Amino acid sequence: MRQALAAHTTLTLAYTDDDGPQACAVLYAPGGDASAPLLYFVTAHSTRHGRALARPGARVAFTAQRDGQEWSGLTGLQGRGGCRELTGAARAAGWAAYTGRFPFVAGDERLRAALERTALWELRPDWLRLIDNGRGFGHKQEWRPQDLWPCAATR
C-alpha cells in the first residue's frame, strides 16, 4: 500500500458541499509514519473544494491510479478520510514532504512563493483499498487505522 501511494502523484478528490458532489484532481505527497499514512496537497480557500474542506469535520473520498492501464493489470487506490489545513510545525513538516516529492516547486521562485501563500492540507485516511488486477482479477488489500502495515489481502 505504501508503494502504491508512492507510485502515484495525483489524487482524484471527491467531496460534497451545498451544491452537491464534486471531484477535482490534486498533486499529493505521501507522509506519515509506520502506523498511518498521511497525504499532503495544496489548494486555495477560494476554490470550491477549498471552501468545502475548510468546513469542520470535512470528509473526502479519493482515488489514485496511473492513466492508460489495461484492465488486466489495473492497479490503484481508493480511500476515505478527513482533511484539515496545516499550520505551524505541522505545515512545515507537510511542506517538506510536498517539496521533497515535487522539487520543481522549490526550484521555481514564482511557483514556490505562490504555493507558500496557499493552504496546505493534510488528508488522513481512515480506510484504504489497493486494487491490483496484476495479482489476479479483483485482488484487493484493505487498511484501516487499527490495522498494521502492510495490509492483509481480501477478496
pLDDT category at 154 given cuts 50, 70, 90 is very low
Question: Does residue 53 register a pLDDT over 80?
Answer: yes
68 versus 139: the higher-pLDDT residue is 139
| Mean pLDDT computed over 44-56 | 93
The pLDDT tens digits for 19-45 are 999 999 999 999 987 678 899 999 999
CA dihedral of residues 93, 90, 13, 58 (deg, nearest 10)? 170
- The structure's pTM equals 0.87
With 0-12 / 13-18 / 19 or more C-beta atoms within 10 angstroms meaning exposed / middle / buried, residue 85 is middle
- For 123, the enclosing helix (H) or strand (E) is strand 120-132
Domain boundaries, the chain: 2-154
The CATH superfamily holding the domain 2-154 is: Electron Transport, Fmn-binding Protein; Chain A (2.30.110.10)
| Mean pLDDT computed over 127-140 | 82
